[in-house]
Structure 1
Amino acid sequence: MKQYSYGLIGNGTSAALVSHDASIDWLCMPYFDSPSVCGRVLDEGRGGYFKITGINATKISQEYVRHTAIIKTRIETADGIFDIYDYMPRFILRNNHYYCPAEIHRNIRVVAGHPKIKVELKLKPNYATAGALAKRENEHIKFITESGEYHSYYLYTDLNFDAVLDGHEITLPPSSYLVLAYHEKIRPFNADRNYTEFERTKGYWLGWVYATQTPSAYREMIIRSMITLKLLMYQRSGAVIAAPTTSLPEIIGEKRNWDYRYCWIRDASMIIELFSRVGHDRSGYRYIQFILNQMLLKHDNIAVVYGINGEKVIPERTLDHLSGYENSRPVRIGNDAYKQTQNDVYGDLLEAIYTYFAYHHKGGFHFDQELWTVVRGLANHSMQVWDKPDNGIWEYRGQTQHHVFSKMMNWVAMDRAGRIAKMIGKDNYATSCFKKADEIKKDILAKGWNPECKAFTMYYGSADADAAVLLMPHYGFLPADDERMKSTINFCYEKLMRDGFAMRYTHDDGFGKPENAFVICTFWMINSLYLIGRKEEARELFDNVLTSANHLGLFAEGYDPRQKRQTGNFPQGYSHMAFIQTALLFATDYHWGPAEIS
């Protein structure tokens, strides 16, 4: 099985991929969606990287420091052993301000002997369209873009500047550091400050994990997935990105390559709903504030996808000078999904708001008039579009259809808006919402059901299976023991399963027939089987899909059952969220349905 041999580090400002042999092969600074400065993952030859190599290395191992976002890479060499600790600082200052600068820390500690290294610092700013001119200064080495959009980067280190820049062999002292920062530091940086920031970052993550409500079963993998999801949350705005990468291909060598460094309302809302259930209410609150900032006026509609600072236009273009991951062209930046119509977003967002309120209404959360205006705005938009065709959850770039999942999520929108209205004493509005929900449900039951397939299918009149309809029990649209639901699950199982993994769908979507399974869809299938009583089979599939995580427990978007390898952007928030939901379903009395008010 071929996995992505990377770990993720980050701090809510940006993120980076660190390879199993201590090379930073993907780094965008200063923010998640900034141009890459290290992009070797998308072009082996010209992409740029930052590697620490052990001279005469004999063995390399890698793991996360327990319950943190710090990666430890141990390199054993003929002359000794040393550890590299890679992380991006994140901790809380005395004024409750989060310190999460755009910088990477690489701390080196000798374990035994007198090991030697060389540093390869090959920065290629602006998606490798420019080189970086190095200038030695008193406290740091400054790198400046040679052409194109201006950026500068600062390397702070207690190793010899010339040896680092020239790639000369260095015999390691007991401890040392290399810090690559986007901003020049104001205070002098030294080993003491570096050590303090390491310990404070470690303490932050240990405290955050301590506040996470997890069962004992699958605890370590759940914690790793929770930390990974946290790393996708942008500190400045509360946005949640789908993944920290672009153009890692769904199918190796083909064109299904997309930029996921943005905030899809659907993905983010599902993740925040989960966070509300496991004790992290602050993340939910910050996401709600992000939404409020996008809907400041009553005529504002919610977008399908936003930039991390709330941008509504994210034009898509290709970077034709890059060869792509394993020659999978094109490399894309931006995402034209912002132009699409995806009518499910109203239900996704109202579900997240409702769940947050349901779990935290006794903890001081105040459902104020501004949020009530947003709820009514979302519900009103849903009423206007629920019977219209759209591009659907899978973002078809061709003809729109009356997708069953989108219709169902508009039922969710009306149901949750009604529940919220009832909670705050707006009974008349609640009644009108529930009435509309009943109308939508009757329409779906009449037109979304295919009597020949004996299943709810992808869209009205379709005979194609769609993994998204497996979420009907999750949202409470139909109970899992409903005969129509059982039949739909069996139909999807027959049509979508490939070697223990589930496809989204199997028909031609304009890019050909998909060949890769989706990790999230596999977990949806496992949940469905479990809920209809096929528990042993569900657990077997669950154990199988866990093998698709890489050496650090990270899931990609997809899995190619033919080549037995991870595919798609990495790590994928959707996949980690779905794993946690399934683990909670197996290990607890996790309520698979609408949150109940306590």
Structure 2
Amino acid sequence: MQNLNYGVVGNCRSAALISEKGSIEWFCFPDFDSPSIFSKLLDVEKGGEFGFEVSEKYSITQKYVENTNILSTLFTSDEGSFEVIDFMPRYKLDDVNHYLPPEIYRYIKLLSGKPTFRVNYNPKMKYAAKEATHHIGKRFIKSQSIDDPLDCVYLYTSIQYALILGKKEIALENDQFILLSNNQKLINIDIERVSLEYNRTKIYWLNWVNRSKKFKTHNAIIARSMLVLKLMSFHPTGAVLAALTTSIPETIGEVRNWDYRFCWLRDASMSIETLMDMGHYGAARRFMTFIKGILKSKEDKFQIMYGIRGERILYEEELPHLSGYENSKPVRIGNAAYYQKQNDVYGYLMNVIYQYYKFFPGTLDEIEDIWEVVRNIIRAVIADWENPDNGIWEIRNSDKHFVFSKVMCWVTLDRGVKIAQLLNLKEYAKKWKKEADRIKKDILGNGWNEQMQSFTQTYHETDLDASLLLMEEYGFISGTDERYKKTVQAIKKELFYKGLMYRYINADDFGRLSSSFTICTFWLIRALYVTGDTDEALEIFNKIVGYSNHLGLYSEDLDFETKRQLGNFPQAYSHLALINTATLFTDERHLSQFIRP
């Protein structure tokens, strides 16, 4: 049984998943959405990896360099010990520009004795569809697709090339390094340069974390989750990825396995809002630039998701040559969900835009640019809110009147009203307030089931949905409102199972769900907290904190029985929810978090 015991290193351009034994088993190069060059994650036999092989005498442990996205894997035995420090360079060149090259360093530090190991360097190009051939130059090993010399990477190292390519035993007598780069380097790479890049990158992450809000309790898990969210932002455009992987299934052997290396407006908006709340505004500024960039004209309509450069068409295809994660097929790249209609996405986005106007509106031209985005969103919601959609869970082939979609349409209008008031545009505020009231009346009249004493997943039906727990968080209804309290209890009774939450239990187009969507349990914790069940909320929180992997990272889903991690990894949704929930139980809670805008 595989498990998602991976560390992640990256530089906001791409990222690598490194196993608990120090092997890179997923790495898309040079960007997050590029074809992989190591993909053992999705095919143990064919996928390719880049690791260190040691004898059974060695014990292997792993940890992050504290408050950084630099990973340390420690190999220890009686004959000696060494540490592999993995990082992708990221640091500021000046007040505006960052250095984030497409490359990964493996800094091998001798700690004691004379340890031995072999390097398993086995790149497989284009999602393992192409074998790599190796060409030795004076300064590097060039690895390229067997039939495409332009599809190549460069390996720089202080170790003899023949020892690496021949998988020969290496006796470590002093510090060594391996650098894998997408580009041919124009500067000399030696151990001093590696040390410099390491320290610059370390200082960057330490400074970034230092600018965050601090908490007396749970500060370490909050900081780790913030570092994960930051890592998943694509610096060149400001887009935020949902996850770093594709096709890790929600349940082993089933077909719910999608490509998450894209920017969902929902996930990205929630991630940005969380980072803003923790004191990081730079990511929000870049995200606003991304939003402006995807609207080329006032006639452009929003999609639920985009490529990380703003691409609108995300063709979905299958890769039959890969066996899949634990033989869970198909392996997919691209995502056909881009054409779906999900009216809830507007609410998250407008909520972030409201925070933008409230805290750092920028120059007059920026304010006007974003105002055009606001009006575009409002027009779309007014035109669509009365129509059915696919809902928050992207249920394919099922258009219904999802209650939470309607709630987020109300959020869109409500935040639009507040933005108009900030800009002293009273006529817009008045007109949009009237429409917001219409939406709220419609939800209260059609979404509440008097017999069940609960809001329901869709109008005039009886199924429940975990997303309804967010009605309070977005200000639609108070945590003291009896209708909300009863809804929380009804959802907990029906969807809470073995310490974790179902999204819903009614069958969808792929059948009945069989794993827990991690974020939903965090939603329940908050709902219990704000309705007064604080002890139970804390009890559930303390348990789910223990279900992370060995480095404190979370995927999309958890198995109800074993609590093993499933789904794409790491998942932005899960980490932003952990942050927001953990802050409920800190000593210095900011009361403003309960005063919704």
In the other structure, the counterpart of 1:443 is 442
> Which amino acid is the alignment partner of residue 435 of structure 1?
K
Q: 1:94, CA displacement in angstroms?
A: 3.5
The alpha-carbon deviation at position 320 of structure 1 amounts to 1.0
Q: How does 1:194-209 map to 2 (within 5 A)?
A: 194-209=194-209
In 1, Cα distance between equivalents of 2:193 and 2:592: 46
1:56 Cα offset (Å): 4.7
Summarize the alignment of residues 181-580 of structure 1 with structure 2, pairs less than 5 Å apart: 181-360=181-360, 368-580=367-579
Pick closer, same or farther for the CA change 1:231–1:145 going to 2, 3 Å.
same
Alignment partner of 2:109: what SS?
strand
How far does residue 150 in structure 1 lie from its aligned partner after superposition?
4.5
User: How many aligned positions are there?
Assistant: 595
Aligned equivalents of 2:514, 2:72: Cα separation in 1: 35
Corresponding residue for residue 178 of structure 2: 178
What is the aligned partner in structure 1 of residue 18 from structure 2? 18
Kindly provide the CA deviation profile for residues 217-264 of structure 1, in whole angstroms up to 9, marking residues without a partner as x: 100000000000001000110000000000111001111101000000
Task: Give the letter aligned to residue 314 of structure 1.
Answer: L
| Cα pair distance change 1:350/1:258, threshold 3 Å | same
TM-superposed deviation, 1:366: 7.8
| Residue matched to 1:118 | 118
Aligned to 1:152, what secondary structure does the other structure show?
strand
One-letter amino acid matched to 1:35: P
Query: Counterpart amino acid of 1:386?
Result: W
Asked if the contact 1:57–1:75 (Cα under 8 Å) also holds between the matched residues in 2, the reply is no
Q: Is the 8 A contact 1:304 1:342 kept in 2?
A: yes
Q: 2:474, 2:596 within 8 Å by CA — same for their partners in 1?
A: no
Secondary structure, in 3 states, of the residue corresponding to 2:184? coil
| Structure 2 length-normalised TM | 0.97
Q: Which SS does the other structure have where 1:155 is aligned?
A: strand
Once residues 104 and 127 of structure 1 are traced to their aligned partners in structure 2, the CA distance between those partners, rounded to angstroms, is 18
How far apart in 1 are the matches of 2:574 and 2:266? 13
Task: Tell me, yes or no, if the aligned pair for 1:88 and 1:105 is still in contact at 8 Å.
Answer: yes
User: C-alpha separation between the residues in 2 aligned to 1:199 and 1:582?
Assistant: 33
Distance in structure 2 (CA, Å) of the matches to 1:3 and 1:509:
27
- Closer, same or farther in 2 for the Cα pair 1:593/1:300, shift >3 Å? farther
Q: Give the partner amino acid of 1:491.
A: A
1:20–1:62 contact (8 Å) kept in structure 2: yes
Residue aligning to 2:39 = 39
Q: CA deviation at 1:563?
A: 3.1
Q: Do residues 78 (structure 1) and 78 (structure 2) align? A: yes
- Say which is worse superposed, 416-425 or 211-220, in terms of deviation: 211-220
> Structure 1 unaligned runs (5+)?
none
Q: Please give the alpha-carbon distance, in whole angstroms, between the structure 2 residues aligned to 1:480 and 1:394.
A: 24
Query: Where does the alignment leave 5 or more consecutive residues of structure 2 unmatched?
Result: none
Deviation at 1:12, TM superposition (A): 0.6
- SS of residue in 2 equivalent to 1:109: strand
Q: 1:486-534, CA deviations, whole angstroms, 9 ceiling, x for partnerless residues? A: 0100110011111111110111111110010111000000000011111
Q: Any idea what SS the aligned residue of 2:110 has?
A: strand
- Measure how far apart 1:365 and its partner are: 9.2
Contact 1:2 1:565 in 2 (8 A): no
Question: What is the root-mean-square deviation of aligned Cα atoms in Å?
Answer: 1.5
CA distance in 2, matches of 1:42, 1:365: 49
Q: Secondary structure at 1:293's aligned position in 2?
A: helix
The 3 A distance-change label for structure 1 pair 287 and 365 is farther
Aligned counterparts of 1:15 and 1:264: Cα–Cα separation in 2: 18
Question: Which residue type is aligned with residue 343 of structure 1?
Answer: N
Contact 2:473 2:596 survives alignment (8 Å): no
Alpha-carbon offset, residue 52 of structure 1: 1.4
Output the CA distance in 1 between the equivalents of 2:595 and 2:10. 32
Q: Deviations over 1:551-593 (max 9, x none)?
A: 1000111101123311101110000000000111222135445
| Mapped partners of 2:540, 2:94: distance in 1 | 47
Q: 1:95–1:152: structure 2 CA closer, same or farther, 3 Å change rule? A: farther
Letter in structure 2 aligned against 1:237: T
The Cα of 1:149 is off from its aligned counterpart by 9.3
TM-score, structure 1 as length reference: 0.97
Aligned 8 A contact 1:55 1:115 in 2: no
Question: 1:313-336 CA distances to partner (integer Å, 9 max, x unpaired)?
Answer: 001111111111111111111111
**What's the CA shift for 1:482?**
0.4
CA distance in 2, matches of 1:376, 1:96: 30
